[in-house]
Amino acid sequence: MIWTHLGRTIRARYDTKTWPLTAKWAANMDPRPEGPNLVYYWLTDEQAELWRQARDASRDS
């Protein structure tokens, strides 16, 4: 459910087709983390730079 709501929010607020996060279900990770099958989100270095640029641009406006 979180994935669906997050996707809708990003599409509504940002004019981009590029997903600004990396996400993967635990079941699809190798090695698989212990515990429940959760979705893990993280930023690559490139994605973090895009977020930094967006933050800086919003401060300048």
> Domain segments of the chain: what residues?
20-61
DSSP 7: H
Q: pLDDT confidence of 3, banded at 50, 70, 90?
A: low
What does pTM read for this prediction? 0.56
Report pLDDT digits (tens) over 6-29: 777 777 777 766 677 888 888 888
Q: What integer best gives the mean pLDDT of the chain?
A: 80
Which residue did the predictor score with more confidence, 61 or 60? Answer: 60
Where is 40: in which H helix or E strand? strand 39-42
User: What are residue 12's phi and psi, to 5 degrees?
Assistant: -75, -30
Q: Residue 20: how many CB atoms within 10 A of its CB?
A: 13
Q: What is the pLDDT of residue 1?
A: 42
